[in-house]
Structure 1
Amino acid sequence: MPTLELQSSSATRSPLQRQLGVWLFAAFSVVGGIAASHAQMNQNEDLSIELIDPKVLRVCADPRNMPFSNEKGEGFENKVAELFAEKLQKKLDYAFYPGATGFVRNTLNAHRCDVIMGFPQGDDLAQGTNPYYRTTYALIVKHGSGLDDVTTLEDEHLKHKHIGIVAGTPPATYLTIDGLMADAKSYPLMIDTRVDSSAEAMINDLNSGVIDAGVLWGPMAGYYAKKAGSALHVTPLLKETGGPRLVYRVGMGVRASDQNWKRQLNQLIRENQPAINKIMLDFGVPLLDENNQPITAETASKSP
């Protein structure tokens, strides 16, 4: 509108007024060009502002926490990170730190890396993406032990059995409610994964007969059962009521300020869900859909 007014009234204006109009028109053009340039710059550099290095996918990870991650890149979180790095056409790099107290503070929040590959929904230590898998705690027993058909922790077949449980985890509450804690063997929750593994210790005790059954986070139970071939049997605990929930959605964790990065990760999850599911099924992870039905190789395109 300003240029139209200048053009329509130029015949009646003095030379000074006409020159002033030219200056104003030029000023509008310059300001508009600068604004457009800044808009384009911001659009292109949003991730440059949020990420440590926009050319590198920098992942926060535990150096020794199979089946999730390790320094050799053998965990399923490593494999999902490799998939994303390929899709983003970026180099992949890690900031390793034991998955214990201070992990988020010393990795993501210290700007040593830009994403935690496994982050439970509802945890407020970081901002979560959309979930890319849904799983549950599980009961793991020896095949032929007489416990293969047990589906709940209140089952009478578990009475007076020695059950392994990681202290402080949600299923410990059910063991207490069901009167199983007196005969249970407890394993520490907070450990230095560089030198210890509660899950591995529990599986070793199960194989040697020290315990009759174990209750583990689903990805761990599925992974160790798959490694054992047909020796171990895993039952997802989906029928428990009256205590804390045992089924959780897991996404990725980013800094609270990294909104564009979060959106890009959400898009990657959405576009690559079948490939993600296949990676996790290869590790024996008991994946669940929203109806608590197992996701299998045949239904791998489902989202959590």
Structure 2
Amino acid sequence: MALFAAATGLFPGDVSRAVAQTSDLVSRSEFRVCADPANLPLSDDTLSGYENRLAELFAEKLERPVAYTWFPMATGFVRNTLRANRCDVIIGYAQGHELVLNTNHYMTSAYSLIVPRQGSLSGVNTLSDTALKGKRLGIVAGSPPASHLVRNGLIAKAKPYALFVDRRVESPAIDMLKDLRAGDIDAAVLWGPIGGPLVKTEFKEFQVTPLLQEDHPPRLFFRITMGVRPGEKVWQRKLNSLIRRNRSEINSILLDAGVPLLDDMGTETLKEQ
């Protein structure tokens, strides 16, 4: 609260009024979602992603229609959507990010190793496995697993893919899996909630193994929340309640999409009910 006051020039007596006013920015007639129009398997403007399904679930519970503000999820996404008051929630946002106020997490997942089901790497479950020595791995540049590739002597041969792109014109995850199919790389390291659904729908010859066995930092599992505007505590609590009360339906949507779900500590995978 003190940091909020310092940043805005408000004193403690004014902060509560500012928070109350901020709550008025949330639409009471629509569930206004900030989303990427070309970010499958998460979201797209044909409403085919699993984040679109989650949005429909929450809108149904709130008894409001979904209304989207579309913007590429790259530099400026939060500033041009949520912070511009054009929408009220980002469906998927990593826990602890300072640009948004996080709800409670609704899923925990991990970066995963993707390899051919019948290949020589099908039994690998850690990036320190000697079976990966000399192999060429696909890796999203700047993502946490890159540090593990460096530690295990795998980075020199690795093929990097861009982290921040406009998915309307470039799809690094799909490009990586196509390269794996073509034999240009031997394995792919992808964020599970992206790689898992792509394997389930388009690259069925591959298997997805969450990387839960790494002994050194950085950790490769993350809790995913919904993001709302800083100060929107009433809205945050409402969404927290919906997450808590609809956990089984949320898990069902995610598992059906192919997302590798973990327990809260990131140590075990959750299975379909």
| Both proteins in one fold, TM over 0.5 | yes
Paired AA for residue 49 in structure 1:
D
For residues 40-51 of structure 1, what are the structure 2 equivalents within 5 Å? Answer: 49-51=24-26
Partner of 1:16: none
Partner of 1:192: 166
1:137 aligns with 2:117: no
Conservation of the 8 A alpha-carbon contact between 2:144 and 2:219 = yes
1:54-104 deviation line (CA, Å, top 9, x unaligned): 100000000111111000111111100000111111011000110101100
Structure 2 counterpart SS, 1:182:
coil
1:125 aligns with 2:99: yes
Percent sequence identity over aligned pairs: 49
1:211 aligned to which of 161, 177, 185: 185
Q: Displacement of 1:183 after TM fit?
A: 0.9
1:239-275 deviation line (CA, Å, top 9, x unaligned): 1122211110001000112111101000110111100
**How far apart, CA to CA, are the structure 1 residues paired with 2:111 and 2:174?**
16
Conservation of the 8 A alpha-carbon contact between 2:110 and 2:222 = yes
Q: Displacement of 1:193 after TM fit?
A: 1.1
Q: Which runs of 4+ in 1 moved over 6 A?
A: 45-48
Structure 2: 5+ residue stretches without partners: 1-16
Structure 1 counterpart SS, 2:253:
helix
Partner of 1:265: 239
Structure 1 counterpart SS, 2:24:
helix
**How far apart, CA to CA, are the structure 2 residues paired with 1:290 and 1:92?**
29
Paired AA for residue 249 in structure 2:
A
Conservation of the 8 A alpha-carbon contact between 1:47 and 1:54 = no
Partner of 2:216: 242
Instruction: Output the aligned Cα RMSD.
Output: 1.6
Structure 2 counterpart SS, 1:282:
helix
Structure 2 counterpart SS, 1:60:
strand
1:105-160 deviation line (CA, Å, top 9, x unaligned): 00000001000000100111100000000000000001111101001111111111
1:175 aligned to which of 149, 153, 170: 149
For residues 1-304 of structure 1, what are the structure 2 equivalents within 5 Å? Answer: 49-51=24-26, 53-228=27-202, 230-291=204-265, 292-298=267-273
Decide which structure has greater helix share: 1
Q: Count residues in correspondence.
A: 254
**How far apart, CA to CA, are the structure 2 residues paired with 1:224 and 1:268?**
28
TM-score, reference length from structure 2: 0.90
TM-score, reference length from structure 1: 0.81
Conservation of the 8 A alpha-carbon contact between 2:177 and 2:203 = no
**How far apart, CA to CA, are the structure 1 residues paired with 2:63 and 2:72?**
28
Conservation of the 8 A alpha-carbon contact between 2:22 and 2:231 = no
Structure 2 counterpart SS, 1:101:
coil
Structure 2 counterpart SS, 1:290:
coil
**How far apart, CA to CA, are the structure 1 residues paired with 2:202 and 2:121?**
17
Structure 1: 5+ residue stretches without partners: 1-41, 299-304
Higher relative contact order at CA 8 Å, sep ≥6: structure 1 or structure 2? Answer: 2
Q: Displacement of 1:179 after TM fit?
A: 0.5
Quick check: which has more Rg, 1 or 2? 1
